[in-house]
Amino acid sequence: MRKQPKPLILYRYILGEHVGPFVFSISIITLVFLLNMVFRELGRFLSRGLGFDVMLEFFFLNIAWIFALSVPMSVLVATLMAFGRLSGDNEITALKASGVSTLQMLAPIVIGATVLAAGLIVFNNRILPDFNHRARLLATDIARKRPTISIEAGVFFHGIKDYSLLVEEIHETPDTSYVKSIFIEDNSKANRVTTIVADSGKIYFDKNRGFLFFILFHGQMHELDLIKMEEYRILSFPRQVLSIQVPDWKIERHESEHRGDREKSAQTMRAEVRANEQEIEREENRARQFALSYILRYLPPAFRPQTDSIPENAEYRLVPPTRNRVKADHARLKQDLVGTRTLIRSLKKLNSSLMVEVHKKYSIPFTSIIFVFIGAPLGIMGRKGNVTMAAGISLGFFLLYWVTLIGGEELADNQYISPALAMWGANIVVGIGGVYLLVHSIREATVIDWGALTRFLSRKKNRKNHENLG
């Protein structure tokens, strides 16, 4: 009988086998997310003339939410790769022969995933909200920024408010444009149109001050007063300098105290939910009192309940009802109750959305633990440390989890199911699969027969080749 390895040495060894695959997978997954964002946003950024530092800041701020999603998936990939390699090299068999059970092998990974999940929960509540807030503000500032000037020969340029520009020829240099036969229409002044034509000129932009400068040669300036049409003036000039201020040319940073639900911590959102619930209770009580006063207004004194909660004042005394009075009171009651119901529904929907985000901050990190119970059995039963196979299987399970999570969030936002079930339902679904795989792994059953799958694919390929030859 072989001597069982010491737990500390065993734990360190198994955890060490996961470090490399985890770093590799989180790097690749983060890179894929970033490249997708770069391809989607780079054209818009370049068209607005953003500097490299602004683009780098934007992508850096978005790494936070990418990291929050990448960690659980990386745990799945790392577990598949590590246990697949251990199984492929028969180290799993050797450990079992030494008396180490599957659960003992999983223990250090579960502990590590738990520590990772706890750290991710702290990250989701303390770091991620600020990064999301700053990323949203920067995206808003970028959207406000005016795009770069792109003047084409023979095409009217209307990129500057109240101005139209046309040139027949243009020669571009890095900082100055040399133009010929230039036409400028200025509508910036009320009730006055100024038209400038020149034989040639230079155009350059002062980025520090946000002014576009025109140095014009041998031209005329035509001014027309739209109120006094007879006051038409023509001014000839050998050289004229025209400056136009271009607002929002530089990116202007703005601050905002308002935060969306993904820009708040769980503690902040819970406080908002409690405040909304108190507001809902106040509105419900007010609506009940208003409806009660309406009913009591038309009840004879003998039928009114004798209670101290109903004050004896003019509002509740019997008033000879008229048709118009009843209709007006009824319309006022209906309008008030409909408005109260709309307000309560909106507050409940807001609370549901807030609680979805609260549970999400905990359910997604907890997925790291769930994925251990999926990756380890698949790695052991697959008996191959194949990177491509591990990535494919992990992607399938992650897509199942993600589809369930998104579907649950949509249902919770529309108040069809509770936020807790919506956010933890995906963990329950995937967790059931993990328990099933773990039980079969402990019993040393082969859920996925890779040999049979390979033989099936080979037979199908041979049959197809035979049909092509035939």
Span 54-63, pLDDT tens digits: 888 889 999 9
pLDDT of 90: 83
Mean pLDDT value across residues 446-458: 54
Mean pLDDT value across residues 27-47: 84
Distance CA 385, CA 390 (A): 8
Please check the confidence at residue 449 and state whether its pLDDT lies above 60.
no
Buried b vs exposed e over 316-340: b needs ≥16 C-beta within 10 Å? beeeeeeeeeeeebeeebeeeeeeb
- Is 222 inside a domain boundary? yes
114 in the same domain as 11: yes
Please check the confidence at residue 72 and state whether its pLDDT lies above 60.
yes
Q: Which residues contact 243 (CB under 8 A, 6 or more apart)?
A: 211, 212, 213, 214
Please check the confidence at residue 50 and state whether its pLDDT lies above 80.
no
- Is 250 inside a domain boundary? no
DSSP letters, 46-106, are HHTT--HHHHHHHHHHHHHHHHHHHHHHHHHHHHHHHHHHHHHTTHHHHHHHTT--HHHHH
Domain boundary among 355, 378, 407: 355
Neighbours of 359 (CB within 10 A): 21
Q: Which of 132-146, 269-283, 317-331, 439-453 has the lowest mean pLDDT?
A: 439-453
pLDDT in tens, 260-305: 888 899 999 999 999 999 999 999 888 888 888 777 776 666 665 6
Q: Which residue has the higher pLDDT, 447 or 192?
A: 192
Mean pLDDT value across residues 84-112: 85
Q: Which of 209, 210, 29, 37 is nearest to 139 (CA)?
A: 37
Mean pLDDT value across residues 49-68: 86
- Is 251 inside a domain boundary? no
72 in the same domain as 59: yes
pLDDT of 460: 63
pLDDT of 117: 95
- Is 399 inside a domain boundary? yes
pLDDT category at 331 given cuts 50, 70, 90 is confident
Torsion of CA 323, 326, 329, 330, to 10 degrees: -110
Instruction: Give the 3-state secondary structure of residue 203.
Output: strand
336 in the same domain as 311: yes
Angle between helices 102-126 and 52-88 (to 10 degrees): 170
- Is 262 inside a domain boundary? no
390 in the same domain as 310: no
Q: Are 238 and 200 in contact (CB under 8 A)?
A: no
Percent of the chain with pLDDT over 90: 24
The enclosing H or E element of 23 equals helix 7-47
Neighbours of 312 (CB within 10 A): 10
Mean pLDDT value across residues 310-330: 60
The enclosing H or E element of 44 equals helix 7-47
Mean pLDDT value across residues 21-36: 91
Q: Which residue has the higher pLDDT, 460 or 440?
A: 440
pLDDT of 420: 92
pLDDT of 390: 55
Domain boundary among 355, 373, 403: 355
Residues in the chain: 470
- Is 184 inside a domain boundary? yes
pLDDT of 446: 46
pLDDT category at 157 given cuts 50, 70, 90 is confident
- Token pair, residue 316, equals 């509740």
Domain boundary among 245, 275, 302: 245
Average model confidence (pLDDT) across the chain: 81
Please check the confidence at residue 79 and state whether its pLDDT lies above 60.
yes
For the chain, how many structural domains are there in total?
A: 3
Distance CA 470, CA 461 (A): 14
What is the domain extent for residue 182? Answer: 163-245
Please check the confidence at residue 430 and state whether its pLDDT lies above 60.
yes
- Is 148 inside a domain boundary? no
pLDDT in tens, 202-238: 887 776 666 788 889 999 998 888 777 777 888 888 8
124 in the same domain as 21: yes
323 in the same domain as 410: no
Query: What are the backbone dihedrals phi and psi of residue 179, each rounded to the nearest 5 degrees, phi first?
Result: -125, 160
Mean pLDDT value across residues 373-402: 72
81 in the same domain as 170: no
pLDDT of 312: 46
16 in the same domain as 137: yes
Residue 77 CA: distances (Å) to CA of 18, 28, 40, 71: 10, 11, 26, 10
pLDDT of 445: 47
Q: Are 454 and 429 in contact (CB under 8 A)?
A: no
Please check the confidence at residue 447 and state whether its pLDDT lies above 50.
no
Instruction: State the amino acid at position 89 in one-letter form.
Output: D
Please check the confidence at residue 468 and state whether its pLDDT lies above 70.
no
416 in the same domain as 336: no
Mean pLDDT value across residues 143-166: 76
367 in the same domain as 279: no
Q: Which residues contact 14 (CB under 8 A, 6 or more apart)?
A: 82, 86, 105, 108, 109
- Is 71 inside a domain boundary? yes
Distance CA 92, CA 98 (A): 10
pLDDT category at 454 given cuts 50, 70, 90 is low
pLDDT category at 372 given cuts 50, 70, 90 is very high
217 in the same domain as 272: no
Neighbours of 55 (CB within 10 A): 16
- Report the sign of the C-alpha dihedral through residues 336, 339, 345, 350, in that order: negative
108 in the same domain as 170: no
